[in-house]
Structure 1
Amino acid sequence: MIPRASRICLILTAFLLGFIARHLLDQLPLSHQASTPSTSSLHSNDLTFNADTPSSNSNSNSNSNPKSNSSNPERVNAAFVILLQDKDLHNMRKTMRMLESTFNHRYGYPYVFLNNVPFTEHFKTHIRAMTTSDVKFGVVPEEHWSYPAHINQTRAALARKEMEARNVAYGESESYRHMCRYESGFIFHHELVQDYDYYWRVEPGVSFSCDLDFDPFLIMKTKKLKYGFTIALPEFVNTIPTLWENVRQFMKSHPEHISKRNSLEWISYDKGETYNNCHFWSNFEILDLSFFRSKAYTDFFNLLDQAGGFFYERWGDAPVHSIAAALMLQRREIRFFNEIGYRHEMYEHCPESPSLQLKCACDPKDNVDWAQFSCLRRFLET
């Protein structure tokens, strides 16, 4: 047994050594002290949690709110605009998660959701949970989602049956035709969209694969661009058999609306005699809304609407928007957003440059840009 006096000496010695060690640690540089991991350093460094990167264990409401973050750049007067139905809820939530994490958590642009019937409270609650940005929900006016007086509905129904028999894409769908007509001529004027200068069209189920360190809306504004796209493809010929003859009628009736520095060469191999079916894939598009609210575009849409091709055939909003942009805008007002990785259904734009690939999570082998049927190469060369 250690004598009592010895035990006291040992205790005092241990205390003294601990005091000396603590004093020496205090004299070390701060950088040496910080090398010892702590709970806070594991969260801030090893797991890369920070103000710009949402936690994988929380929803987007935990992100820093751009509206209260003075370090965020000034936003353009713009919004994401989405036309969808309640059944699209979960696909939309997945898309919003990607859009927020790759871009919008830094900028806080608002969302406008439109439906031809009122959204349920369940839909609204689950959409709001995906973002800290403002979210608005609206209903399409009935007169914009119904047959105009000049349309023969019997003829339209027969056309749908005939196109269904020929396996034309969406040939049988009545609602798809209302959607295409609405996107072609009315969505720019909806009361919830009317206050904005630009919009970015988003659809449920699309994916965004690249982190954006710039604001596409600001690019549009500062460079005075009117139309932005990521994918250019040919339209299904059997959906638009008489579209071009109506376009030619417009060009003849309204030469004042045709830009002298247009992109006609992109959409026609023979100086406007025929249409080569090239169009921007409008499920992604960033627009200067002033163009689509202009007299030139309004005259164009009204002529097409009177022709009835949205119902007697199956004219899509993609060729309508694209032809209008190609004819009435200057070539320099249209921009290919190569930096935005984007996928819709089977087609994907994946940036191929090494520098952009460092910001993306997509395989360049899946890039549709240089496929034989793609219209992008022709656009870039004209």
Structure 2
Amino acid sequence: MNWRLSSAVIVAFILLVSFGIKRVILPSIPLTSPETLKGLYEQSLKLNSDFENSTHLLLQDSRLKPATNSYVDARFPDVEKQRSSPHLENATILMLCRNWELPEVLKSMRELEDRFNRDYHYPWVFLNDANFTSEFITETSAMATGETFYGHIPPEDWNTPEYINKTKYNESILNFTKNDVIYGDSRSYRNMCHFNSGFFFRQKLLLNYDYYFRVEPGVRYFCDFQMDPFRLMREKRKKYGFVISILEYPDTIPTLWNTVENFLTEYPSYLHENSSIAFITSKDPIGPETLIPKDASPYNMCHFWSNFEIGDLNFFRSQEYLDYFNFLSRSGGFYYERWGDAPVHTIAASLLLDRDDIIDFEDIGYTHPPFFTFPDSVSLQVGKRCIIPQNEKNLDILPHSCLPRWWRYGSGKRFLREYFHEEDYL
């Protein structure tokens, strides 16, 4: 027997032992027969192929997440199941960012694509007060599963308005810096908050959309969405969605509520009859501890953290909201103080909307440093394939969370599964 024949015998024997010893009875004719060796070799290859194909089909049936590190062997295109294209809502994913933030932008995109958008391919809209670089456009386009659009914010929508007194503004910057108010020394941060409060929804790239999902650089999503939040917003007629509710820094908004009260005096009919005003004005303790400030201001500092928000753009385009924003902007508080867009959005939603128009996306695990939120239910964590960070506390059960207050004075405690058709909750 020559060396090639000997090798064939060894290969055939190993393959048969590995894959077919329970299914194949070795023939009684001598192994040295060329016909026998050829038959065994061909049969062993077939068994090997059948084994790999059956394994591949099992993996497909298990619906493992297709990604760059997929377990599915690409050598079997004949059994590849094509994912059907779902119905898309008239919505976009929105990110306000700058070129130097590209690494963190890509991290956020990868997180959201893997956890949600890989199943839907919603478009991304990127906004910047400067032109995006070719590198930024190339790399974000490659990361997105949907179309990507890039907008340069007009200076009149971004820069400090002309009616802001420059001397007073400069003095406030010095005072806020001296008092160590967070972002108190930043002019660009004030421009950003003013823009996010009153101009993001007016940008040309957003005019034809009904819904937006706000994403910021450097955030994470811990669990599979397993549903389309835009569809929920439309079907259940929700106008504003959040995941984190916390207390604002009082030093940033000393006169915000006084300005809101003046607005309500001028526009009393704008206060919705089923509003959630008690959510932002109640100060009674909820639970064993409370950090609600006991000062004279009726505002309790609770707000929805706006770095994650899913909203109806038509709410922000409404005359009620436009009058509200213009009133606040003209007062100068965005610049003479350091009003954030989060309390501005929250107060607007709490006053102008029906409390049932607001939804807590309670089982979407999320972090924007330094705070974390995630479902505590082990069954939810397993079912939604969550990767919960170790040694991090869920903000929702800490004293500075306003979520229990929302459950009492907002629309109550709800579970996302209540909103969906059972067959759609994957």
Separation of aligned partners in 1, 2:242 and 2:36: 72
Where does 1:237-256 land on structure 2 (aligned, <5 Å)?
A: 237-256=250-269
Contact (CA 8 Å) 1:279, 1:318: kept in 2 or not? yes
Change beyond 3 A, Cα 1:73–1:264 = same
Q: Deviations over 1:245-295 (max 9, x none)?
A: 010111111122111000011000279961001000000000001101000
Q: Could you tell me which residue of structure 1 aligns to residue 370 of structure 2? A: 346
Of 166, 170, 175 in structure 2, the residue corresponding to residue 162 of structure 1 is: 175
The answer to whether residue 336 in structure 2 is matched with residue 323 in structure 1 is: no
The answer to whether residue 209 in structure 2 is matched with residue 189 in structure 1 is: no
Change beyond 3 A, Cα 1:244–1:49 = same
Q: Deviations over 1:129-160 (max 9, x none)?
A: 11231000001111011122211112111101
Change beyond 3 A, Cα 1:23–1:196 = closer
Q: Could you tell me which residue of structure 2 aligns to residue 74 of structure 1? A: 87
Separation of aligned partners in 1, 2:129 and 2:115: 29
Where does 1:109-258 land on structure 2 (aligned, <5 Å)?
A: 109-258=122-271
Give the deviation of 1:48 after TM superposition. 10
Separation of aligned partners in 2, 1:23 and 1:73: 43
Contact (CA 8 Å) 2:113, 2:145: kept in 1 or not? no
Q: Could you tell me which residue of structure 1 aligns to residue 395 of structure 2? A: 368
Contact (CA 8 Å) 1:95, 1:205: kept in 2 or not? yes
The answer to whether residue 405 in structure 2 is matched with residue 378 in structure 1 is: yes
The answer to whether residue 380 in structure 2 is matched with residue 356 in structure 1 is: yes
Change beyond 3 A, Cα 1:245–1:54 = same
SS in 2 for 1:287: strand
Separation of aligned partners in 2, 1:23 and 1:110: 50
Q: Tell me the matched-pair count.
A: 358
Of 107, 111, 115 in structure 2, the residue corresponding to residue 102 of structure 1 is: 115
Of 273, 286, 306 in structure 2, the residue corresponding to residue 282 of structure 1 is: 306
Where does 1:78-97 land on structure 2 (aligned, <5 Å)?
A: 78-97=91-110
Of 20, 35, 53 in structure 2, the residue corresponding to residue 15 of structure 1 is: 35
Q: Could you tell me which residue of structure 2 aligns to residue 53 of structure 1? A: 66
Give the deviation of 1:355 after TM superposition. 2.4
Separation of aligned partners in 2, 1:23 and 1:168: 76
In structure 2, the gaps of 5 or more residues are 2-28, 71-81, 285-295, 410-426
SS in 2 for 1:192: helix
Change beyond 3 A, Cα 1:152–1:47 = same
Equivalent AA in structure 2 for residue 310 of structure 1: F
Contact (CA 8 Å) 1:350, 1:363: kept in 2 or not? no
Separation of aligned partners in 1, 2:39 and 2:204: 72
Separation of aligned partners in 2, 1:49 and 1:138: 41
Q: Deviations over 1:216-235 (max 9, x none)?
A: 01000100000000000011
Change beyond 3 A, Cα 1:341–1:25 = closer
In structure 1, the gaps of 5 or more residues are 2-8, 27-32, 58-68
Separation of aligned partners in 1, 2:57 and 2:143: 23
Name the % identity.
Answer: 42
Equivalent AA in structure 2 for residue 184 of structure 1: S
Change beyond 3 A, Cα 1:24–1:81 = closer
Change beyond 3 A, Cα 1:193–1:20 = closer
SS in 1 for 2:246: strand
Give the deviation of 1:342 after TM superposition. 0.5
Separation of aligned partners in 2, 1:143 and 1:45: 58
SS in 1 for 2:310: strand
SS in 2 for 1:82: strand
Contact (CA 8 Å) 1:49, 1:55: kept in 2 or not? no
Equivalent AA in structure 2 for residue 381 of structure 1: R
Change beyond 3 A, Cα 1:49–1:70 = closer
Separation of aligned partners in 2, 1:41 and 1:315: 60
Q: Deviations over 1:92-151 (max 9, x none)?
A: 101111110011000000000000010111111111111231000001111011122211
Q: Deviations over 1:161-187 (max 9, x none)?
A: 110111000000000000000000000
- The TM-score normalised by the length of structure 2 is 0.78
Give the deviation of 1:11 after TM superposition. 7.9
- The TM-score normalised by the length of structure 1 is 0.86
Change beyond 3 A, Cα 1:303–1:21 = closer
Give the deviation of 1:50 after TM superposition. 7.1
Separation of aligned partners in 1, 2:56 and 2:177: 57
Contact (CA 8 Å) 2:117, 2:145: kept in 1 or not? no
SS in 2 for 1:136: strand
Separation of aligned partners in 1, 2:103 and 2:161: 33
